């Protein structure tokens, strides 16, 4: 296995990052680009051995990092943010190649938000304080103490941004981290390890282990030295993680998406409502907070639908690297099958496809609006 691949001109190390150094695995898995379905490279495939090594590195690094003064931790987090800012273009093109989201979105919003996440928690850390207070003759003191090694398991739809929503606060609080990125989009996590090391983050404070959940993920979440677990993803996987965590009473947080509706009443600004509704196709609809159900008051439903169809027809679907593209591909053939299954079952149950309802070739699915649903 090559230790490095070049993605759109950007070198990316395909090995794990454990204890401040690159670590290879005997086995690999193939990372494919959803843009064209072509293989990007072979990625180190972690298992129990890599999980044990990463947790050990995080455990060993924890006492010194926890004892590091807040101002110094904040300084390093700002240095990581500076490193992200310098590499926005590289991070953007690698992530677009890896997960298929729009390059223009990565450049203008997503990667700048990655840097902002580190800056926000660095600044928040320095403001975290509470005066002592008296109750019935007793002095009360409030402190914030780091927990220890944290396992952070992140999704594929906004890989780096959602990873830093977990990594930045964990590091700010004085915890050490083992980050396990989704196997469908692992590349920018590897680049984050490089940036963090260049910023002066001590060895072992951030570790990145790649691989499949059933192999390395289970070994991480069941490890008795792990003090916190955070997971964003599916309900079935969350159940498995919760069972692993329960054996050691490891506290965990789960973010499992949702199906919240977008509500449109008769007195709404219909133009604004339609604009927001069509925006739910962002990232090919692969957004956990997308309002994928539209509940529209009957008296305005026909006009709303007419305007929606008109606006959606103006969207351009295609290569996410092109500036004029509005909708890119779905992340993986399995995801495409899942989406088509939703649509076909709905059509079979009597729904009507006002627009879309079909695959478009490759990993692209037409923007779809179904009406007459139960």
The pLDDT tens digits of the residues spanning 18-48 come to 999 999 999 999 999 999 999 999 999 999 9
Instruction: Give the CA dihedral 302, 308, 309, 312, nearest 10 degrees.
Output: -170
pLDDT tens digits for range 49-94: 999 999 999 999 999 999 999 999 999 999 999 999 999 999 999 9
Is it the case that residue 1 has pLDDT exceeding 90? no
**Is pLDDT above 90 for 315?**
yes
CA nearest to 154, candidates 223, 227, 236, 255:
255
Q: What pLDDT score was predicted for residue 238?
A: 97
pLDDT of residue 188: 98
pLDDT digits (tens, 9 = 90+) for 248-263: 999 999 999 877 899 9
Is residue 303 over pLDDT 90?
yes
User: What's the pLDDT band for 342 if we cut at 50, 70, 90?
Assistant: very high
Share of the chain above pLDDT 90, in %: 95
CATH no., domain 261-371: 3.40.309.10
pLDDT tier, 310 (very low <50, low <70, confident <90, very high otherwise): very high
- Does the structure show a pLDDT above 90 at 155? yes
- Strands of 21-23's sheet, edge to edge? 21-23, 16-18, 206-208, 176-180, 149-153, 228-232, 252-255
- Residues 96 and 162: their CA atoms lie apart, in Å, by 15
The confidence score (pLDDT) of residue 274 equals: 98
Q: In sequence order, what are the residues at sequence separation of 6 or more whose Cβ sits closer than 8 angstroms to the Cβ of residue 153?
A: 180, 213, 217, 220, 221, 229, 230, 231, 232, 233, 241
pLDDT tens track for 360-372: 999 999 999 999 9
Confidence of residue 129 (pLDDT cuts 50, 70, 90): confident
Mean pLDDT on 264-291: 95
Residue 91's Cα: distance from chain center in Å?
Answer: 14
Q: Report the DSSP beta bridge partners of residue 176.
A: 149
Of these residues, 42, 89, 215, 288, which one is catalytic? 288
pLDDT of residue 258: 78
Averaged over 128-157, what is the pLDDT?
94
Cα torsion 99, 102, 105, 111: sign = positive
Q: Is the pTM of this model over 0.85?
A: yes
Distances in Å between the alpha carbon of 81 and those of 116, 144, 155, 296, 332? 7, 24, 21, 42, 30
Q: How many CA atoms lie within 13 A of 368 on its CB side?
A: 23
Question: Residue 374 has what pLDDT?
Answer: 84
Is the CB of residue 270 less than 8 Å from the CB of residue 299?
no
Q: How confident is the model at residue 289 (pLDDT cuts 50, 70, 90)?
A: confident
Spatial CA neighbour of 171 closest among 66, 250, 246, 92: 66
pLDDT digits 0-9 by tens, 183-238:
999 999 999 999 999 999 999 999 999 999 999 999 999 999 999 999 999 999 99
Give the CATH number of domain 4-133+144-255; options: 3.40.1180.10, 3.30.70.930, 3.40.605.10, 3.40.50.720: 3.40.605.10
Which among 232, 180, 229 has a CA at the least distance from the CA of 208?
180
Catalytic site includes residue 150: no
Catalytic residue among 42, 255, 279, 366: 255
Contact 117, 154 (CB under 8 A): no
Percentage, residues of the chain above pLDDT 70: 100
The pair of structure tokens assigned to 217 is 């993920």
> Where in the sequence of the chain do the CATH 3.40.605.10 domains occur?
4-133+144-255
- Ranges of CATH 3.40.309.10 domains, the chain: 261-371
- Whether 298 sits among the annotated catalytic residues: the reply is no
Write down the mean pLDDT value for the chain. 96
Band of the pLDDT at 281, cuts 50, 70, 90?
Answer: very high
DSSP type of residue 205:
S
């Amino acid at each position: 296995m090559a230790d490095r691949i070049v993605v759109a001109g950007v070198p990316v190390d395909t090995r794990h990052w454990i204890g401040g150094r690159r670590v290879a695995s005997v086995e690999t898995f193939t990372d494919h680009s959803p843009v064209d379905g072509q293989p990007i490279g072979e990625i180190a495939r972690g298992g129990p051995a890599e999980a044990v090594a990463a947790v050990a590195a995080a455990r060993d690094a924890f006492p010194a990092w926890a004892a590091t003064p807040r101002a110094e931790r904040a300084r390093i987090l700002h240095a990581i943010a500076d490193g992200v800012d310098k590499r926005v273009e590289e991070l953007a093109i690698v992530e677009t190649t890896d997960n298929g989201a729009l390059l223009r979105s990565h450049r203008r919003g997503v990667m700048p938000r990655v840097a902002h996440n580190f800056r926000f928690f660095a600044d928040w850390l320095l403001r975290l304080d509470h005066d002592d207070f008296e109750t019935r003759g007793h002095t009360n003191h409030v402190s914030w103490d780091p927990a220890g090694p944290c396992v952070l398991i992140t999704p594929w739809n906004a890989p780096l941004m959602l990873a830093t929503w977990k990594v930045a606060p964990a590091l700010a609080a004085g915890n050490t981290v083992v980050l396990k990125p989704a196997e469908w989009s692992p590349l920018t996590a590897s680049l984050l390890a490089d940036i963090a090391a260049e910023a002066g983050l001590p060895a072992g404070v951030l570790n990145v282990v790649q691989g499949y959940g059933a192999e390395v993920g289970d070994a991480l979440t069941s490890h008795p030295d792990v003090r916190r677990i955070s997971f964003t993803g599916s309900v079935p996987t969350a159940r498995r993680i919760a069972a692993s965590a329960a054996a050691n009473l490891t506290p965990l947080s789960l973010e499992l998406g949702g199906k919240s509706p977008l509500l449109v009443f008769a007195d709404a600004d219909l133009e604004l409502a339609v604009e927001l509704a069509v925006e739910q196709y962002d990232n090919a609809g692969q957004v956990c907070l997308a309002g994928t159900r539209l509940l529209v008051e009957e008296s305005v439903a026909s006009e709303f639908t007419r305007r929606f169809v008109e606006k959606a027809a103006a969207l351009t679907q295609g290569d996410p690297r092109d500036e004029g593209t509005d909708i890119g591909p779905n992340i993986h053939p399995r995801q495409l099958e899942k989406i088509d299954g939703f649509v076909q079952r709905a059509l079979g149950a009597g729904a009507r496809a006002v627009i879309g309802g079909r695959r478009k070739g490759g990993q692209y699915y037409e923007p779809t609006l179904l009406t007459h649903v139960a």
